[in-house]
Amino acid sequence: MTPPVSAPEIDRFYRAAVLGLGLLEARSGTARRFGPDADARWKAFRGGLQDWDRIELLVRDASVRNPAGFAPRVVFDLPALADDEPCGPDWPGPTPTEASTLLRSVASGPKELGPILEVVAAAWGLSARPLSRDAGAGILASTKILLTGAGAVMSAATLFAGRPELDLADQSVLVADDPGTRQLFGLALAYFSSSRPARIVRLATSPEDLRALGVSAVDRALVSDDVPPDTRAQVAALARALGAKG
């Protein structure tokens, strides 16, 4: 049974989601969500709505295309919810008192993938430890990867951003139980605008579970040092069971 989501986790989710929205805005070169023009449109539309309503609408809109980065159902692994329901009827939404601060944070925040992911990891309290420089050596468009750890997600995102022939969503499966790493991965996928659904599984996943998701083989596991040794060993065993060498 999935444990309930705590209030601090919800706050972290929205802080990361707003940063992710800012990243998408910067990548697209538009001012659809934030900035003076967007503020003017909101004032004309808002009626009795408040800033926290604006954040909730923006996040729900983004969750349609990028659920792994913006839908609590995926980030917190809430299996009781339908695939087209990002939050559920009891979801409290963002904290009203923090909403204005979150909206202002977009203007002063970073605008590039690597720095944004670093801030998202910090917002979640993740001690991300990036992979070594040579960890991505030999990765081709055909290479299938298991990713584990915030540092591994950040390193893979940076690597794939510099190589347009690679597809992070198609080539990787994230193994993570914690919502912070799951959202970090989802926001990276949102940046790449992949049309493929994210594949995120829990640590207890078996090789048979992965095969049911269409992952028949894995070439390597990328695991960062910010995960415990027993997790590293468990993911390495899972990768070997799916054909990975080493």
Q: What is the pLDDT of residues 33-89, one digit of tens each?
A: 888 888 899 989 888 899 999 999 999 999 999 999 999 999 999 887 877 788 877
- Is residue 2 in a domain? no
> Based on the domain organization, do 173 and 116 belong to the same domain?
no
> Based on the domain organization, do 117 and 161 belong to the same domain?
no
Residue 189 three-state SS = helix
Which pTM does this prediction carry? 0.93
> Based on the domain organization, do 90 and 184 belong to the same domain?
no
Residue closest to 157 by CA, chosen among 141, 136, 180: 136
Give the domain extent around 65.
Answer: 7-123
> Based on the domain organization, do 108 and 159 belong to the same domain?
no
Does the pLDDT at position 104 exceed 50? yes
The domain boundary, picked from 67, 98, 123, lies at 123
Element (H, E) at 174: strand 172-175
- Is residue 138 in a domain? yes
pLDDT tens-place string over residues 189-213? 999 987 788 999 999 999 999 999 8
Crossing angle (nearest 10°) for helices 7-28 and 179-192: 10
SS (H, E, C) 124-148: CCCCCCCCCHHHHCCCCCCCCEEEE
The domain boundary, picked from 95, 123, 151, lies at 123
- Is residue 51 in a domain? yes
- Is residue 180 in a domain? yes
* CA 206 to mean position of chain CA atoms: 22
The domain boundary, picked from 123, 144, 179, lies at 123
> Based on the domain organization, do 51 and 142 belong to the same domain?
no
| Total domains in the fold of the chain | 2
